[in-house]
Structure 1
Amino acid sequence: MNSQHLSSMEAKNQEPGIDYQYKSLKDDTSIRLLYLHPDSLNQLPIKASLLEYPVNACPNFGALSYTWATEDGVATLSRELLCDGASLKITQNCEAALKRLRRPREDQVLWVDAVCIDQSNLEERSLQIGLMRQIYSQASWVALWVGESSSTVDEESGLPLSDLGMDYIHDFAVEIAERMNSGRNVSEGPLYQEFIKDRQAFQHSNSKVFTPRVRGLWDVFHRKWWGRLWVIQEVALSKEPTLICGSKAETFHNLKIVIEALIRQEQPVEVMEFNTNFIASTFHQFHIRHMIETGGMGKISPPGIKALRILNATRNAKASDPRDKIYGILGFFGPSGTDPENIFPEPDYKKTPAELYADVSRAIITNTGNLDALSSCYGFFRSSIPDLPSWAVSWNDTPLKYFDDEIFNAAGASSVIYEDSNDKLHLRIKGSRVDSLKLTGVLPDSIGYSNEACIEIWRYWWKFTSTLESYPTKDTVSDAFQDTLCWGSDLNYHRLGLAEYKETFNAWLKVLTGPDDTATTANHIFNGKEPFKYAHRASSITWGRNMGITDKGYLALVPITTKSGDEIVLFQGAKLPFVVRTEDGKSKLGGPCYIRGMMDGELAIHGDAKAVDELEWFTLW
């Protein structure tokens, strides 16, 4: 359909000067496409039309991936799109993207969520979410709009830094490809050397230490677009994604070449850490797309495991509506009736976030037969989700983990024993109370987790630990402390043997218990080669946690909100022990804990039917 025909339709569909009125879609499998009308003079407001098509019978179209908000955070509907002659309000960033994609002489056909979906219609929003997979898979191309060119200009060239950064991506990808094809070392290339040249200065300063091109790359990689949840599936499902920033465009393929070269394993650890931190903001998009391209998103058994993996992989991405942390990944699954991996409830924006998170958590638990999902539940912490049950995963909050629960087996080979509850915000499962907290470390109300704060915490923990005369597993108290403070795992989240950190732990402990003041001790530990190896691991685990001693004499690393008297429970189907608090007959999950001597099924119920029957039912609130 040409633009003249569309223009003649405007007067019939809408009256000029009024707000655009959406017409109901004909059925649940229809979508609207936006026809951007041409403008060789790049004038505003943008003129367009909306036409409805069955999702399986659309003309050739592209799709837009963008954020509603600008880099300044402005997300108000402050701009006007003349749609079929009537006013449709859009955000400033949406207008900028449409203006960039508009053609001078012919219509541009696009799918744009803010325009093609009636955002005021909750039922339509819920139904359209189920079509995202088809929309982005069928689009012939996808524009990844990260925003306008940066306002900061390079003094020497007079160009915006982001323009230099986009050109750098292209040139860097060419250099990497050429060196790899000729068998030369990628890290010796001039552009690679330019990238890492100022890494040490950057640790003590900011991105201004970089060359203008690398500063431009930093600017592009730290746009808000990278952190948004919805764009993850938009990138992963698209055929030909293209990154667009201002007037510059670069294929996602070239971007992938750069990212993969920077995180390849055969390079010094300190360089790897710098590279990883530099590009960390881009990981969501590359990780999931890579899983799809390599077959890592194929059928995973049993159902529920794939859902949990994707939810964990996208957890730190942002969504303005917390329910979209669930709905924003449904594009990775087929319809619930045909895809056994789709264990999610149908999208429903009338459901509260707490109800949705509880439904999804329960579905994962019952489908997998284990409690892996609960390893990131910290029910005593205040969640961003009102009225969230202590056992329901808060997909909207950053998890407190730094370990892999797969390497532990606290409840042995057992499966979760679950019972339906009349209240869907409750979870009834079986377990056994194996211990309780006798003592927990006293911590200040607010901890900044500076190097000096860590020293003070560790000194206090070692002080009350060293009062123990023996340890229940026959380990030395020192060995139990060394293991517990690392959550029994190393920096790669592999199971830790005592011998692995013994030398560096001894060096760390010698400085920690020495006569120096806190500041001097922190300097020696965090700048000393041997002590730092242990401190590097221990400091990541220390955040948000406390150490305590149980009634049976075990050391326990527990959530920071744990109190003396809280109980240690082994639930069937759990890889970790959990802290549980019962008050006024209500049990709440405090979170997982690490207790050397309980992590490998030592206290689990193994196949004894009578003992399993006698396990206690816990109703978690």
Structure 2
Amino acid sequence: MYQYSPLEESKGEIRLLELHPRDFDDDIDCSIRHATLANTLEFTALSYTWGDPKVRKAILVGGQTFEVTVNLFDALRHLRSSREMQTLWVDAVCINQGDLDERSKQVLRMRDIYTFANTVEVWLGLAEDDDCAAMALVDKLGATVSDPEESLASGFYKEYEQAFLDIFEGAEPEEVRALSQLFKRPWWTRVWVVQELTLANQQAAIVRCGEAAAPWLSFLVTAYAIESSWFIVDAIVTGVAPDDKVDAFNNGIRMAQCRRVAPTHPPFALLELLHQHRDCESTDPKDKVYGLLGVSGDVENIGITPNYDQSPEDIFTDLFEKHVLATKSLDMICAVRFPRRLEGLPSWVPDWSVDQTVPGICINDRYVGGNEFAGSPIAHFERYAASGASLPQVSFSGMHMSAAGICFGRIASLGCVDEGMTFEGVESFGRADETGKSASDSDIFDEWLNMVLDSPIWDSIAGRYGMENVLDAFCRTLVTNRNNQMMRPPEQAGTDSEVRR
């Protein structure tokens, strides 16, 4: 069994895996060397999923047996050259996973590791039927765009949308379905891949599925190509597999959106990253936070450092307290949802280990310092701040949080949340039928609006402010005065601004 030599922290050392040249079916023979991490160091970083940790295969490291998961074993066989030594950084081997102190420290180095890597190789897994044809389709879609970086940053022209459509219509149905399935590979759902590919040299990153390979940027373009041609792609896929669903391309779009489009843009806020990637998975629940530290710009200000000796409950609680104190905001409390997996958490701390939808009201500043800067892709986002410019007065003691507040009324009724309710504009607000009841497209929304219409003081309120004004103000309140693009809907002519406030 291989025995690790400790890293010298004062030298900024990491371990690199030297993959010795062999034929494909030969035993995997490797060696490990220590190196000081710098931008002159030449190596390839591997991005992959571990797979089932209980099922392992043996490789040789320094002549000693070293067990790895089956998925990593397959990746090493396909990356290995028969003629040249390959120098890799692979987390499962290059970090002593049995040393919790080393793991905690090396996690902080991963930001630099994936930034300094000459390239990042993404391993999706072994190829299945039609996967090679699907990878060729990725290449074809990616090659359609003359400048992928520019298009991913600013949007795709109309001529590209027609070109995408032509390619899908000319492909075999099984190839299109296989393409959709590529975005359902487990790799896309893992939290660690977010920072690995966000920090990578985008032009040099490569995605592999078995023997086939395609540029990373081509995969991001393909995700948007599927979105722009969704109706035809969905029709093609369901034509050959009626129970299939074309939705996983959103994983690729999410990865495109979490890149820093320009070096002048500020880095992402940790809370926004936690919201955006809450549905990602990790073997260790602690990594739902630690896996995003490398791409967040306010980590040092918040004061979060990896510590694998702590329990997930302690990590999530510590994050909440430090985030409130650093940001002077209670926004994180909006992420609390039930049911929860970690029962030992205080009621006011989000359980980040659970995939739960966070409503748009919780998502404010995507970037550190706010969204208002030159070239911001979301400068139009309407920030919601019920307390205005006032700061919270908060203190913590064990499982208890105390916060000062103002009592301005009592809860009269409770309604349900409609997860799918969206509003393109105010024309869909406050429709009533001939009996005076709500007549929207949502039963839940009707329930909310009818609470107002059935109120014993409704007639006096409507008489004072005007029925349409009050209904409009109430509907805007339910959606925090924002439509589903996070933009403020247009004002209605003649609406009393006092009611809107």
Is the 2:111–2:199 Cα contact (8 Å) retained in structure 1? yes
Candidates 421, 425, 433, aligned match of 2:407: 433
Residues 293 and 482 (structure 1), Cα distance of their counterparts in 2 relative to 1, 3 Å cut: closer
Candidates 160, 164, 173, aligned match of 2:142: 173
Candidates 446, 450, 455, aligned match of 1:468: 455
Alignment of 1:234-383 (within 5 A): 234-239=196-201, 240-260=204-224, 277=247, 279-289=249-259, 291=260, 293=262, 295-298=264-267, 306-332=269-295, 342-378=301-337, 381-383=338-340
User: What residue identity is the alignment partner of 1:316?
Assistant: D
SS in 2 for 1:309: helix
- Return the alpha-carbon distance in structure 2 between the equivalents of residues 319 and 366 of structure 1: 27
Deviations 1:521-548 (A, max 9, x none): xxxxxxxxxxxxxxxxxxxxxxxxxxxx
Residues 442 and 32 (structure 1), Cα distance of their counterparts in 2 relative to 1, 3 Å cut: closer
Is the 1:418–1:428 Cα contact (8 Å) retained in structure 2? yes
User: What residue identity is the alignment partner of 1:186?
Assistant: Y
SS in 2 for 1:243: strand
What displacement does 1:411 show?
1.4
User: What residue identity is the alignment partner of 1:222?
Assistant: K
Candidates 400, 408, 412, aligned match of 2:388: 412
Q: 1:40 maps to what in 2?
A: 23
Is the 1:236–1:292 Cα contact (8 Å) retained in structure 2? no
Deviations 1:449-484 (A, max 9, x none): 99xxx9664565555443214456946364455445
SS in 2 for 1:130: helix
Please state if 1:101 is matched with 2:79. yes
Q: Which runs of 5+ in 1 are unaligned?
A: 1-18, 151-159, 199-209, 299-304, 503-595, 601-621
Candidates 32, 42, 50, aligned match of 1:60: 42
Q: 1:163 maps to what in 2?
A: 132
Q: 2:348 maps to what in 1?
A: 391
What displacement does 1:184 show?
7.9
Candidates 92, 97, 101, aligned match of 1:123: 101
- Return the alpha-carbon distance in structure 2 between the equivalents of residues 90 and 268 of structure 1: 40
Is the 2:270–2:293 Cα contact (8 Å) retained in structure 1? no
Residues 597 and 314 (structure 1), Cα distance of their counterparts in 2 relative to 1, 3 Å cut: farther
Alignment of 1:185-196 (within 5 A): 185-189=159-163, 191-195=164-168
Is the 1:307–1:341 Cα contact (8 Å) retained in structure 2? no
- Return the alpha-carbon distance in structure 2 between the equivalents of residues 599 and 371 of structure 1: 24
- Return the alpha-carbon distance in structure 1 between the equivalents of residues 234 and 500 of structure 2: 30
Is the 1:172–1:192 Cα contact (8 Å) retained in structure 2? no
- Return the alpha-carbon distance in structure 2 between the equivalents of residues 188 and 599 of structure 1: 43
Please state if 1:215 is matched with 2:188. no
SS in 1 for 2:265: coil
- Return the alpha-carbon distance in structure 1 between the equivalents of residues 420 and 200 of structure 2: 41
SS in 2 for 1:437: coil
Residues 293 and 478 (structure 1), Cα distance of their counterparts in 2 relative to 1, 3 Å cut: closer
- Return the alpha-carbon distance in structure 1 between the equivalents of residues 335 and 234 of structure 2: 25
Q: 2:154 maps to what in 1?
A: none
- Return the alpha-carbon distance in structure 1 between the equivalents of residues 500 and 19 of structure 2: 60
User: What residue identity is the alignment partner of 2:76?
Assistant: L
Greater displacement, 473-482 / 381-390: 473-482
> Percent same amino acid among aligned pairs?
27
What displacement does 1:38 show?
1.4
SS in 2 for 1:118: coil
Is the 2:59–2:65 Cα contact (8 Å) retained in structure 1? yes
- Return the alpha-carbon distance in structure 1 between the equivalents of residues 217 and 407 of structure 2: 53
What displacement does 1:162 show?
1.3
What displacement does 1:262 show?
5.6
- Return the alpha-carbon distance in structure 2 between the equivalents of residues 372 and 273 of structure 1: 37
Is the 2:21–2:83 Cα contact (8 Å) retained in structure 1? yes
SS in 2 for 1:185: helix
What displacement does 1:148 show?
0.8
Q: 1:30 maps to what in 2?
A: 13
- Return the alpha-carbon distance in structure 1 between the equivalents of residues 209 and 121 of structure 2: 10
Q: 2:188 maps to what in 1?
A: 226
What displacement does 1:491 show?
1.9
Is the 2:141–2:167 Cα contact (8 Å) retained in structure 1? no
Deviations 1:126-161 (A, max 9, x none): 0111110111111111101111102xxxxxxxxx32
- Return the alpha-carbon distance in structure 2 between the equivalents of residues 58 and 211 of structure 1: 46
Residues 292 and 437 (structure 1), Cα distance of their counterparts in 2 relative to 1, 3 Å cut: same
Q: 2:90 maps to what in 1?
A: 112
- Return the alpha-carbon distance in structure 1 between the equivalents of residues 124 and 29 of structure 2: 23
SS in 2 for 1:53: strand
What displacement does 1:365 show?
1.9
Deviations 1:367-412 (A, max 9, x none): 222222222224xx22223322222233333233044555333212
SS in 2 for 1:32: strand
Is the 2:270–2:299 Cα contact (8 Å) retained in structure 1? no
Alignment of 1:467-546 (within 5 A): 467-471=454-458, 474=465, 476=467, 478-479=471-472, 482-483=475-476, 486-496=479-489, 499=492
Is the 1:61–1:109 Cα contact (8 Å) retained in structure 2? yes
User: What residue identity is the alignment partner of 2:136?
Assistant: D
What displacement does 1:101 show?
0.6
Larger Rg: 1
Candidates 57, 60, 68, aligned match of 1:82: 60
- Return the alpha-carbon distance in structure 2 between the equivalents of residues 144 and 599 of structure 1: 50
What displacement does 1:340 show?
7.6
SS in 2 for 1:80: strand
- Return the alpha-carbon distance in structure 1 between the equivalents of residues 360 and 466 of structure 2: 24
What displacement does 1:417 show?
2.1
Residues 104 and 499 (structure 1), Cα distance of their counterparts in 2 relative to 1, 3 Å cut: same
- Return the alpha-carbon distance in structure 2 between the equivalents of residues 372 and 197 of structure 1: 48
Deviations 1:246-295 (A, max 9, x none): 111111133334445566xxx79978999994520213321222x25454
Residues 387 and 408 (structure 1), Cα distance of their counterparts in 2 relative to 1, 3 Å cut: same
Q: TM-score, normalised by structure 2?
A: 0.76
SS in 1 for 2:482: coil
Q: TM-score, normalised by structure 1?
A: 0.62
Residues 429 and 214 (structure 1), Cα distance of their counterparts in 2 relative to 1, 3 Å cut: same
User: What residue identity is the alignment partner of 1:31?
Assistant: I
What displacement does 1:599 show?
8.7
User: What residue identity is the alignment partner of 2:183?
Assistant: F
Q: Which runs of 5+ in 2 are unaligned?
A: 152-156, 236-244, 365-381, 422-440
Is the 2:42–2:118 Cα contact (8 Å) retained in structure 1? yes
SS in 2 for 1:34: strand
SS in 2 for 1:355: helix
User: What residue identity is the alignment partner of 1:171?
Assistant: K
